[in-house]
Structure 1
Amino acid sequence: MQSKMLRIQRNYLVVCYRTKTTRPTSGDEYQYLQRTRIPMLHFQASLPRLPIPKLEKTCERYLVAQKPLLIEEAFQKTKDNVNRFSATMGPKLQQLLKEKDSKNKHTSYISEPWFDMYLRDRVPLPINYNPLLLMNPDPRPAYNDQLIRTTNLVISSLRFMKSLRAQLLEPEVFHLNPAKSDTHTFRTITSLAPSIISTYVAYAFKAFPLDMSQYGGLFGATRIPETGKDRIYRNEKSRHLLVVRNGHLYSVEVLDEEGNIEQPGTLLARFKRVLADSRPIAESPLGILTTENRDSWAKIRYHLSEIGNEKALREIDSALFCLCLDSDAFDPEQPIPAIRNFLFGDGTNRWFDKSFSLIVSKDGTTGINFEHSWGDGVAVLRYFQEIYKETINAPFVHPDTQPSDPSISENVVKAIEIVLDDRTRNGVLAAQNHHNTITDSLDMNYLKYDGINKNVCKKQKISPDSVMQLGFQLAFFKQHSKFVATYESCSTAAFRHGRTETMRPCTVATKEFCETIERKQNPASPTELRAIMDKCSSLHGQLTKEAAMGQGFDRHLFGLRHTAEINDIPLPCIFDDPSYAAINQNILSTSTLSSPALLAGGFGPVVKDGYGIGYNIQEGFLGSVVTSYKSHRDGKEFINCLKSAFEDIASVLKNSKPLVK
């Protein structure tokens, strides 16, 4: 029955798309995006807890990661420090960490210190923390009209939010083999299983339920700056959006008094009112203050509340999310200008503190910029994919939809008035200068390489992600003739309150490949190089699996160090070793998200002399967005080296065969 109903629903959506039939705008069919068969949090109670790795395994993995980065003398010193740590202070810290973990079984050992790390950092959010997801355009040009696309995206966002809050969203599940597990049978059996064992029932299908505790941070939330440490504010009763246009702030009601989503024509009319506002660009756009150092912003914000803006700030903080209506237009074939604008821009038409900002440009180019302390990419990507899918397949607003707002109240769309004084205006001016100085120093480059893609990797029986990471190692080696600390983000959402783990893609195998392929004398044959490449792929897969299963070393060492600090224990020698600082100076910081909705993603370098590499692997090409600071790294040269690296790898794949396994 469920499968038949899903087929009927899918067919109905296709008919709506093809014929522009008006979709129902009353009752639950309009209010909710999904009505899951399996309760949304059904698996949550039986999710396994994030494991604390064995101390000896962490020490072993740490040394393996250090090996390709250090000369022999430095490696021996690091090895001595690790051995001393594992024989002396390590076991004591491990025991203290386990004791604390056993007293907090509702969460993970990394959750509290990880939140604390984010909220205590004082650096500005743009570039340093907030990432950007750039959405593919609607394939129908008329639906990329700014007003039409905005209204459709907001309606789908609200439907997602209401489904989330009513716990009607499908649970987040990673299907190792979707053909066997993403089925009616899977949903029936797991929904009938008691919640306390349901995750283990899913495992029998090779399906892995993921933690959904972060989803509650998506809507009605803001990171509020305070001196020393920020805090997260959440409000589940608000009915409005924060809308930013030309630097002006607006409150736009999108839910009625009963909490129901307003009609499509009503929302169309309300956003049309904002777009029709003829006021010039704001002289002192308050949003630029969210680009400041957190302590500086905290002091100005406190002053703003003192001079009569407490109500206005509360309206900003409580908004369901931030909608930024921009005046730019972009070429989807040249994503850098859009990524640059949506990632940080000039800061005047943003409020970077909101949990996320939905940004829609004049030509319909859309992206999501999100604040990172409350959660990771899993929840944001799910939301991103769902609204994209619905708006291109079955939108509620069409080019012939007429705006109609029956409300007689002017307050449904209102400018948020801010009282300004000289101190505030000077703060805005200083923030603009600071932000411009930083963003002017940032370089951004893009590579779209079509010589390798998913299908090529599949035919060659090699991991696409390992090929990408090998390309980054080879490119940096071509540019600088050395190897550096490399970070690849890996989600640990398969565990309760899991966050991320670091996968270390720079290995002895990638080092061997880079040195061998760049060897000028006695060059290696494609067969030799392919053997090393297969070794790289195999090791990469092993490290990825370990990280995803909570068996990396980075978070464990972070937890042990934090344990020493909160117990006033002097830091052990392993943390004072220069090699520990060096491996955490992630020169190559990389992250990937794969989705049909995603055009590109980007984030800033995590260190001044590093590269921030957002990449994706598509059916037809490999894409990489690379950010760097101009005074420290040559981003264009790196992109040229990356293209050369992919060409070398493609040549090896073309002229060799995978090893028989």
Structure 2
Amino acid sequence: MNSFYISNHFIIMSTCINNLESGEVCRKMLGFVRRTTKTSSRICSVNSLCYSIWRNEAVSSSNPDDSDFIQESVVPTFHFQASLPRLPIPRLDDTKRRFLNAFEPIASSNEEYESATKAIDEFVANEGRRLHDELVELNQDNYSTPRRLDAYYTDRRSLVLTSNAAMVFEDDPRPEYNEQLVRAAILLRSSLRFMNSVRKNVLEPTMFHAHPENSNTPFFKNFVSCVPSKLSWYPAHFLKATPLDMSQFKQMFNSSRIPQLGRDDFVTYDQAKHIIVTSKGSLYVFDVIKNNGSLALTSDIYRQLALISAHNPPASVPPVSVLTSEERDTWTVARKQLKAANEDSLKLIESAILCLCLDDDDTDNLNDAMRNFLHGNGQNRWFDKSMQLVINKRGLAAIHFGMSWANGLTIWRYMDDVYRDSLQSSFMPDSKTIDSGNPAFRIEFKLDSELLGKIEVAKNRFEKRIADLSVRHVKCEKFGRNLIKAKKHHGDALSHLAMLAAYYNAFGCFPSAAGHCSTAGFKSGRTELVRSLTREMGAVIKALWSGDERQLGDLVKKASLKHVFLIREARRGEVCSYLLRNGLR
């Protein structure tokens, strides 16, 4: 027998089941929602509606070519968006306290600290209070994100090594699947399935489960899918599950950053069916969504990539892509000139689902590979694209993305789902796969002498810019997560401690240091700063370099606990308000 909880605003389905534990959870959730929403309610039986709450959780096809969806979740992708809580505005007095706590370790003297305290008191009592009240009156869902986006889009520096980042996929454990074109075709097919699941609202929402035995279950997912979106956050919160903001997933595909004087734009084109492929400095276009809406199969994708890879463009073709590595105002002017005779070509690039970069780099050196993923040679990238899937000759793969539109958590979710899905592919090309089919369309730009000169200048500036970057990696064989956990420390705290200690050893003073913490548990949440240099961190470092190691273990534990406390504060939005940070400048 099915029963429904009815109020003025919503209907929640519960089910009489044999599993007493799940039934008890259901009854508690109903009571929690009833108390939280404070609406009059009654329980009534509805025997005539034949609807079972027991449905499958997110389903993924065993073979990526069998379905156009990477997941088909019972809980819609954006189900929790309407009910996510707002990011709280920190109290001004709390901001003052946090600012002084962060400033104390870097103050060179008591006089400097007292001077800063006086300046803060004056600001809080006057302009700070007025600005704080104005911010409260704006009544925004998220007061921080619009200002963070402004900081990104008004930054006039090049995107290379500033606003763009890269994350690397693991190798496919099957060696034969790490051939460049095979891996590119499989990862692209999985990426399209991911995109399709987002567009059809069937990608499972990202959630943090404090008690997964209660909330990460088929029963809970089926239950919460029946709760109206405006109330769906409450039963999840009751079971200590935190739904995360999914708004960034709408900007993942078919998107580009558009340079403008003073402030860039970010544009998403929903209807485009094609991708861009960069190879040997040229750009190619082909459709990956058919006229009937279905996705191109892995074999179709591979065929096109094989034709592109085999094509050798004339050596005289200028690398227009390098213009996207310029400073933003410089690129704005050049793009305006380029658009005059190449508007359709620019539209194809900027509206593409994503950019696939087939690199000729075949290094097996991790340092060189990371440099390639971060910037490449500047000629085989379009740095304005929201996402670029980069694959070198050895099959090493990475995502190069702009941090203006997304945080690492969003990219991590995409990469995790796509990588797992790619491992299920059994595609391997044969003689029938490679034929003389119609090749992808190569974009040919019309360029005058002035634009050709700007391309040469951009190439030289790019080389100088990346020459300042040094990349080194260290592989720790004996020190890692297991040892840190065994000592009951926090990994993030120890990594910050190591960096601060190295800085102190090199320069004899402390820097103003901070790390990022996700606030994706709030509507439109991005990140907030965690001021990692605390009084406790400073005490550890001074003891370390003074040679006094008698109480070092206790000091490290205190520093780690303090860092964890600050992270938890930041996750709740309890941070040093940007008003005070910017006001004191």
The answer to whether the Cα contact below 8 Å between 2:54 and 2:222 also exists between their aligned partners in 1 is no
Cα distance, 1:189–1:544 mapped onto 2, change above 3 Å: same
1:275 maps to 2:312: no
1:222-269 deviation per Cα after TM superposition (whole angstroms, max 9, x unaligned): 111111111112111111111100100111211111221112221111
Report the equivalent of 1:53. 90
1:511-567 deviation per Cα after TM superposition (whole angstroms, max 9, x unaligned): 0001012114xx332xx1111111111100110011111111154535xx4xxxxxx
Report the equivalent of 2:343. 310
The alignment's C-alpha RMSD in Å is 2.0
After TM superposition, the structure 1 = structure 2 runs for residues 235-634 of structure 1, keeping only pairs within 5 Å, are 235-281=269-315, 283-306=317-340, 308-331=341-364, 334-392=365-423, 394-398=424-428, 400=430, 402-403=432-433, 410=438, 413-520=440-547, 523-525=548-550, 528-557=551-580, 561=582, 574-575=584-585
1:203 maps to 2:237: yes
The answer to whether the Cα contact below 8 Å between 1:241 and 1:319 also exists between their aligned partners in 2 is yes
What's the TM-score once normalised by structure 1's chain length? 0.78
Determine which of 34, 45, 48 is the counterpart of 2:71: 34
1:398 counterpart letter in structure 2: M
Cα distance, 1:427–1:396 mapped onto 2, change above 3 Å: farther
After TM superposition, the structure 1 = structure 2 runs for residues 165-244 of structure 1, keeping only pairs within 5 Å, are 165-244=199-278
Cα distance, 1:456–1:444 mapped onto 2, change above 3 Å: same
After TM superposition, the structure 1 = structure 2 runs for residues 124-135 of structure 1, keeping only pairs within 5 Å, are 124-135=158-169
1:8-58 deviation per Cα after TM superposition (whole angstroms, max 9, x unaligned): x67x84xxxxxxxxx374xxx511111101111111111000110000001
Cα distance, 1:540–1:483 mapped onto 2, change above 3 Å: same
| C-alpha distance in 2 between matches for 1:197 and 1:2 | 18
Cα distance, 1:536–1:161 mapped onto 2, change above 3 Å: same
Cα distance, 1:379–1:3 mapped onto 2, change above 3 Å: farther
2:549 counterpart letter in structure 1: A
1:537 counterpart letter in structure 2: S
1:286 counterpart letter in structure 2: V
Offset of 1:282 from its aligned partner? 5.6
1:91 maps to 2:129: yes
Report the equivalent of 2:5. none
| C-alpha distance in 1 between matches for 2:64 and 2:78 | 28
2:418 counterpart letter in structure 1: I
After TM superposition, the structure 1 = structure 2 runs for residues 4-43 of structure 1, keeping only pairs within 5 Å, are 13=62, 23=63, 25=65, 29-43=66-80
The answer to whether the Cα contact below 8 Å between 2:256 and 2:267 also exists between their aligned partners in 1 is yes
The answer to whether the Cα contact below 8 Å between 2:64 and 2:190 also exists between their aligned partners in 1 is no
Offset of 1:189 from its aligned partner? 2.6
For 1:436, what is the secondary structure of its paired residue? helix
Offset of 1:382 from its aligned partner? 1.0
Determine which of 101, 107, 111 is the counterpart of 2:145: 111
2:114 counterpart letter in structure 1: Q
Report the equivalent of 1:635. none
Cα distance, 1:281–1:530 mapped onto 2, change above 3 Å: farther
Unaligned residue ranges in structure 1 (runs of 5+): 14-22, 562-571, 576-661
Offset of 1:405 from its aligned partner? 7.3
| C-alpha distance in 2 between matches for 1:368 and 1:271 | 18
| C-alpha distance in 2 between matches for 1:535 and 1:145 | 49
For 2:475, what is the secondary structure of its paired residue? strand
Work out the number of aligned pairs and report it.
533
1:570-627 deviation per Cα after TM superposition (whole angstroms, max 9, x unaligned): xx5x33xxxxxxxxxxxxxxxxxxxxxxxxxxxxxxxxxxxxxxxxxxxxxxxxxxxx
1:369 counterpart letter in structure 2: H
Report the equivalent of 1:138. 172
For 1:442, what is the secondary structure of its paired residue? coil
Offset of 1:4 from its aligned partner? 8.9
| C-alpha distance in 1 between matches for 2:53 and 2:556 | 45
Report the equivalent of 2:102. 65
2:288 counterpart letter in structure 1: V
| C-alpha distance in 2 between matches for 1:296 and 1:58 | 38
Offset of 1:431 from its aligned partner? 0.3
Q: Report % sequence identity.
A: 33
Offset of 1:208 from its aligned partner? 0.4
The answer to whether the Cα contact below 8 Å between 1:152 and 1:396 also exists between their aligned partners in 2 is no
| C-alpha distance in 1 between matches for 2:574 and 2:533 | 17
What's the TM-score once normalised by structure 2's chain length? 0.87
| C-alpha distance in 2 between matches for 1:303 and 1:231 | 18
The answer to whether the Cα contact below 8 Å between 2:64 and 2:421 also exists between their aligned partners in 1 is no
The answer to whether the Cα contact below 8 Å between 2:279 and 2:357 also exists between their aligned partners in 1 is yes
The answer to whether the Cα contact below 8 Å between 1:516 and 1:524 also exists between their aligned partners in 2 is yes
| C-alpha distance in 2 between matches for 1:38 and 1:456 | 37
For 1:233, what is the secondary structure of its paired residue? strand
For 1:259, what is the secondary structure of its paired residue? coil
1:186 counterpart letter in structure 2: F
For 1:243, what is the secondary structure of its paired residue? strand
Offset of 1:280 from its aligned partner? 4.8
Cα distance, 1:282–1:140 mapped onto 2, change above 3 Å: farther
1:86 counterpart letter in structure 2: V
The answer to whether the Cα contact below 8 Å between 1:265 and 1:402 also exists between their aligned partners in 2 is no
The answer to whether the Cα contact below 8 Å between 1:300 and 1:427 also exists between their aligned partners in 2 is yes
Unaligned residue ranges in structure 2 (runs of 5+): 1-51
Cα distance, 1:2–1:364 mapped onto 2, change above 3 Å: farther
1:540 counterpart letter in structure 2: H
